[in-house]
Amino acid sequence: QKEVEQDPGPLSVPEGAIVSLNCTYSNSAFQYFMWYRQYSRKGPELLMYTYSSGNKEDGRFTAQVDKSSKYISLFIRDSQPSDSATYLCAMNSPYDKVIFGPGTSLSVIP
């Protein structure tokens, strides 16, 4: 079993839709959870950073962490064509390396 699992997609949605992206993980020591966005042929950029369980909202983006289920989610409201990218979940435990999921490819169709 991989440490972090993520559905690779591709996921295609119409503009304005709510998008749900998810990851599961196996290591209960993970405490920091991140979502990175990567446009084609570019480096990833940090989108959301959360500590432990709970929700965090930033504009159209909401990150959720459920440590009891070892499950994290990223919701995108009112999706835009500019949201078309690959979304990578990532996580780590204190003072340890970051583990990335394989990424989910998202296309938002105008």
Interface contacts to another protein, rule CB under 8 A: 4, 6, 8, 32-34, 36, 41-46, 49, 88, 90-92, 94-98, 100-103
* 3-class DSSP assignment, residue 68: coil
Minimal distance in Å, beta carbon 57 to another protein? 18
Give the residue among 76, 106, 90, 110 at the shortest CA–CA distance from 32. 90
In the complex, the smallest distance separating the C-beta of residue 46 from another protein, rounded to whole angstroms, is 6
Task: Please tell me what DSSP assigns to residue 64.
Answer: E
Contact between residue 24 and residue 104 where contact means Cβ atoms under 8 Å apart = no
Q: Which is nearer to another protein, 49 or 61 (CB)?
A: 49
Cis peptide bond N-terminal to 8, omega within 30: no
Nearer to another protein, 5 or 62 (CB): 5
C-beta of 78: minimal distance to another protein in Å? 26
Nearest residue (CB) to another protein, 4 versus 19:
4
Q: Which of 64, 76, 61 is nearest to 15 (CA)?
A: 76
Q: How far is the CB of 16 from another protein (least distance, A)?
A: 29
